Amino acid sequence: MSTKRQKRKQPLPAPGEWTFELIEAYHAEIDRVAKNYGLDTYPNQIELITSEQMMDAYSSVGMPVNYHHWSFGKSFLQTEKSYRRGQMGLAYEIVINSNPCIAYLMEENTMTMQALVIAHAAYGHNSFFKGNYLFKQWTNADAIIDYLIFARNYLTECEERYGEEEVELLLDSCHALMNVGVDRYKRPEKLSLNKELTRQRERAEYLQSQVNDLWRTLPTPHVKAQAVEEKRFPSEPQENLLYFIEKNAPLLEPWQREVVRIVRKVGQYFFPQRQTQVMNEGWATYWHYTLINTLYDEGLLADNFMLEFLHSHTNVVYQPSYSEPWYHGLNPYALGFAMWQDIRRICENPTDEDRYWFPDIAGSDWRETFDFAMRNFKDESFVAQFLSPKVMRDFRLFAILDDDKEAKLKVSAIHDEEGYRRVREILSDNYNLGSREPNLQVWNVDLRGDRSLTLRHQAYQRRPLSNDADEVLKHVARLWGFAVRLEVARDDGSVEVLQECRQDRRKTSDA
Amino acid sequence: MVRIIDRRFDSKNKSAVNRQRFMRRFKNQIREAVADAISGRSIKDLDNGESVTIPSKDLSEPQFHHGRGGIWENIFTGNDQFSSGDQINRPQGGGGGGTGKGKASKDGEGEDDFVFNLSREEFLDVFFDDLALPNLVKTQLARIHEYKSQRAGFTNDGTPANINVVRSLRGALGRRLALSSPYRGQLRELQKQLDELLQTRSEDDPDVLQLKDEIGILRAKIEAIPFIDTFDLRYNNRIKVPKPTTQAVMFCIMDVSGSMDEDKKATAKRFFMLLYLFLTRTYEHIEVVFIRHHTIAKEVNEEDFFHSRESGGTVVSSALEMMKDILHSRYLNGAWNVYGAQASDGDNWENDSPHCRELLADTILPFVQYFAYIEITPGEPQNLWREYEKLVGAHANFAMQHIEGLPDIYPVFRELFKKKLA
């Protein structure tokens, strides 16, 4: 931080209780400093809410509006319980990737905390949402709130028309597939409320006709079975189960397809957040730290404010080591904050080691490097690109190899010369959703036979599916309407059918 | 440019809908928890909610995850002892072994059961649902109003029987005074003139005669004002006001003679609880009087009522006598709604049963809202039953049921209140 404190100004008052005037005053200063650092943000909308509303927002996946579902009620109860018991403080803030960017401040926070949250959420996260390529490509900040309102209204309408039970069952099934309902590689269309509304009906009809195409390929009874060349459907394996079901499940009603689509869109919306935890939280933490410290250096903040601020900040970036009972893996705030700080250090005061490891950025302009890194990476690539030996040493990182065929665990690499690359590689892979989550694909539909759907799990490193896979399979069968099969393709090339879930809805609906 | 919005006062309880959905979905588990709670609670301990535990497997939202097994390679922090190539034993319990990665779902908590609290209202709702009371009955249960007729001033119309004479005549008098007052003024004036005139003139003077005529006309006018007119009539006004049903007393009478074993007592307890619950829905304040009896009756506290052991013969009338005394001395000031519940195995001293019936019919039933008798016996009804049967037709507020075991209790309870409302 710059140490020029010659321009002593009157510090802003820092009472325990916040007021609207003070929030505005603090915001104005933070905004000024953020602009000086060149942070590019959506306009801010700061909303003051109660702790109960915070729990509400929490339990509906952090969105200000959402459709109704029992699982949100469950998570509300969970949150409420641990909050009441004091097991868990609520998050200081929730910030929504929308334009304007909505940040929630909780009523119970002190003035210091409000300032911290403004810097963290309204400038840190906000600028990340606006700049990072994943968010730019996959989400549309202008439309998300409108879309969620559309979704909630649509589902309410469905409940009225088809009954709450029916909609709930459908949502259950969709939620079960939410994490395999995202396009990992393909770019989605932008959301737009008007488009959704005007084209929703058209789409429904169109989709139904598409499905009829699928039916048309069925052999009619009087045509003799002929040796038709086995036509694969889908022609290539599909990674997005929900998308495939929305477009191809033969028995779904149009409204059901729309619901599948809504769940898919919402899941897709959160996909970038899951891929940029370390970067995003680290970035926001870095900026609240930097912005507040800059204000302090200018003499705008009182000492009691800084002490409380540092106390909170330290808690946020605390990283217990593996042997401590409260160890829950790497703290993304801690790792992210350390990495961003380290990047700035490499830019400003590079050592020989840094010059060797990071010839491109050592000694470069830190603002430009930051901007480049923030815009063009996700956790996986960010770690692979920027995790320096110094951070690995500071965190004393080490890798454990756990092979269930071996009797013992093995330390495969540590924070030393031989281990740096390996540790970095493994950590990067840990953040790769593609290897962290099972790889499931729509493999085949038996078009000429029983119309059964085959899902294939491409087992990576012999990792099996968890036990609730058979429950999920039932959900798939409910959506698909016919038998569903789950098979596993192992690394050695063998394929085995794991389970099958029969469901012939035609019989019940024809009866 | 920033917008700061105060949202603290809008949309509280946004999650209420989701909470209801959750409750509906796990109705069965919640119902079980409520049933368990009832058996463990005191009769009066119903003002609390209940904490409900649901096994986490029932709650799970399944997703495709990795399970244990295969090859995992993970990064940890804080290396304090390891070098590359070290072999380590697997930690017991699978804690930090790294294979847990796939289980790091958002539910984090792992296999713990899910516990949450039902509010009192929710608790009771489930309880009543359990009784399978039809909705109509439920709303009727919630609205048992007693009316009493009460004076409410006077009205301008009504039935002749309700004419209030004093009020009506007072009105008439006032009207007459008001209507005649201008004439009376003139009258007084003329009379004065006449008196003055008579000082100087004779009776036959034409002026005197003219004054006398005028006076006569005025008197006639005053006379013509009707003594009473229809709009003078005032009627006593009576309105029905709901009697505030805020407090009730519930008598629990139980036979604790040797023939009542623990099972029967447990059944009786259920029954009393149910009645108590029903009353809490209707009344704000409830007192419970526990009377137990064998050959003599005794008023006791709840603990003794259910748990102390007695033996000996049975004289049911002793308990009814005691109920009557307590009822008449403490609860007959009009402020109490009285309910009675009696549980027995029906095995009474033969000559006492007719006496019981008379006691009930003459000194108790006229004063209680409702009296229910259950006979807990596995076999044929006993003599008390046969006597009580004679009361059933004659008294609408008396009901009796035969219970063989615990499973009968809900239907019986339902039956009782159906009867009440029929």
pLDDT-derived band of residue B92, with 50, 70 and 90 as boundaries? low
Determine which of B66, B80, B86 to mutate to test the interface with A (most A C-beta atoms within 10 Å).
B66
Tell me chain A's radius of gyration from C-alpha atoms.
Answer: 26
pTM for the model = 0.68
For residue A238, what is the DSSP state? B
| Tokens at B159, concatenated | 């039935």
Predicted pLDDT at A374:
95
**How far does CA B371 lie from the centroid of its chain?**
16
- C-alpha distance from residue A164 to each of A63, A263, B28, B145 (Å): 22, 16, 18, 36
Q: Give strand ranges (E) for B313-359.
A: 337-344
**Phi/psi at B337 (5° precision):** -95, 125
- Across chain B, mean pLDDT equals 76
Cis peptide bond N-terminal to B354, omega within 30: no
Three-state SS annotation for A184-232: CCCCCCCCCHHHHHHHHHHHHHHHHHHHHHHHHCCCCCCCCCCCCCCCC
- Quick check: B81 contacting A, CB < 8 Å? no
Restricting to B residues 296-355, those with a Cβ less than 8 Å away from any Cβ of A are none
Of B23, B65, B82, the CB nearest to A398: B82
Determine which of B29, B54, B57, B63 to mutate to test the interface with A (most A C-beta atoms within 10 Å).
B63
Classify B369 as helix, strand or coil. coil
- Quick check: B98 contacting A, CB < 8 Å? yes
Rounded-to-integer distance, Cα B158 and Cα B154, Å: 10
DSSP run (H or E) holding B254: strand B247-255
Rounded-to-integer distance, Cα B19 and Cα B34, Å: 18
Residue A445 and residue A217 in contact, taking contact as beta carbons nearer than 8 Å = no
- Quick check: B159 contacting A, CB < 8 Å? no
Residue A74 and residue B26 in contact, taking contact as beta carbons nearer than 8 Å = no
- Quick check: A84 contacting B, CB < 8 Å? no
Predicted pLDDT at B107:
36
| Tokens at B290, concatenated | 């526990």
Residue B44 and residue B276 in contact, taking contact as beta carbons nearer than 8 Å = yes
- Quick check: B83 contacting A, CB < 8 Å? yes
Rounded-to-integer distance, Cα A288 and Cα A269, Å: 25
The one-digit pLDDT tens for each residue of chain A (511 residues) are 444 444 556 888 888 788 999 999 999 999 999 999 999 999 999 999 888 888 888 777 777 788 888 888 888 888 777 777 655 555 667 888 888 999 988 888 889 989 999 999 999 999 999 999 999 888 888 888 889 899 999 999 999 999 988 999 999 999 999 888 888 766 555 556 666 666 676 766 666 666 655 555 555 445 444 444 556 788 888 889 999 999 998 889 999 999 999 999 888 888 888 899 999 999 999 999 999 999 999 999 999 999 999 998 998 899 999 888 888 889 999 999 999 999 999 999 999 999 999 999 999 999 999 999 999 999 999 999 999 999 999 999 999 999 988 888 999 999 999 999 999 999 999 998 888 888 899 998 988 788 889 999 988 888 899 888 888 998 999 899 888 999 999 888 888 888 888 865 444 433 2
- C-alpha distance from residue B375 to each of A268, A499, B131 (Å): 64, 56, 20
For residue A121, what is the DSSP state? I
Instruction: Please name which of A115, A76, A133 lies closest in space to residue A372, comparing C-alpha atoms.
Output: A133
Rounded-to-integer distance, Cα A169 and Cα A477, Å: 12
Predicted pLDDT at B122:
74
Rounded-to-integer distance, Cα B292 and Cα A463, Å: 68
Predicted pLDDT at A79:
79
- C-alpha distance from residue B135 to each of A68, B142, B273, B299 (Å): 26, 11, 21, 37
Whether the pLDDT of residue B233 is over 90: the answer is no
Whether the pLDDT of residue B128 is over 50: the answer is yes
For residue A9, what is the DSSP state? P
Residue-wise DSSP of A339-379: HHHHHHHHHHS--HHHHHH-TTTTTS-HHHHHHHHHHH--H
Residue A123 and residue A39 in contact, taking contact as beta carbons nearer than 8 Å = yes
CB contact set of A206 (below 8 Å; sequence gap of 6+): none
- C-alpha distance from residue A149 to each of A43, A197, A223, A463, B10 (Å): 21, 11, 50, 40, 17
Helices A254-275 and A144-162, packing angle to 10 deg: 150
Return the higher-pLDDT residue of B397 and B283. B397
| Tokens at B421, concatenated | 């409302």
What is the distance in angstroms between the Cα of B114 and the nearest Cα belonging to chain A?
A: 8
Contact yes or no for A414 and B83 at CB 8 A = yes
**How far does CA B399 lie from the centroid of its chain?**
19
Rounded-to-integer distance, Cα B256 and Cα B313, Å: 9
Contact yes or no for A43 and B4 at CB 8 A = no
Taking phi over 0 as left and psi of -120 to 50 as alpha, with beta for the rest, B252 belongs to: beta
Q: Which residue has the tokens 């009472």?
A: A15
Residue A35 CB neighbour total at 10 angstroms: 12
Residue A85 CB neighbour total at 10 angstroms: 8
- Cα A498–A503–A505 angle (5° rounding)? 160
Whether the pLDDT of residue B101 is over 60: the answer is no
Determine which of A169, A278, A463, A478 to mutate to test the interface with B (most B C-beta atoms within 10 Å).
A463
Contacts of B61 in chain A (CB under 8 A): 71, 172, 175-176
SS3 content of chain A, % helix, strand, coil (to 5): 55, 10, 35
Of A168, A179, A402, the CB nearest to B63: A179
Instruction: Please name which of A154, A167, A172, A153 lies closest in space to residue A71, comparing C-alpha atoms.
Output: A172
Contact yes or no for B2 and A46 at CB 8 A = yes
Instruction: Please name which of B248, B250, B255, B378 lies closest in space to residue B306, comparing C-alpha atoms.
Output: B255
Rounded-to-integer distance, Cα A205 and Cα A194, Å: 18
Residue B329 and residue B290 in contact, taking contact as beta carbons nearer than 8 Å = no
**How far does CA A368 lie from the centroid of its chain?**
26
Paired sense of beta strands B235-243 and B146-155, if any: antiparallel
Whether the pLDDT of residue B396 is over 50: the answer is yes
Predicted pLDDT at A71:
86
Residue B213 CB neighbour total at 10 angstroms: 11
Rounded-to-integer distance, Cα A78 and Cα B35, Å: 23
Restricting to A residues 370-409, those with a Cβ less than 8 Å away from any Cβ of B are 395-404, 408-409
Predicted pLDDT at A255:
93
Rounded-to-integer distance, Cα B287 and Cα A371, Å: 74
Predicted pLDDT at B241:
72
- C-alpha distance from residue A19 to each of A10, A114, A311, B12 (Å): 18, 10, 22, 21
CB contact set of A13 (below 8 Å; sequence gap of 6+): A22, A302
**Phi/psi at B306 (5° precision):** -90, -25
In chain B, count H helices and then E strands: 13, 13
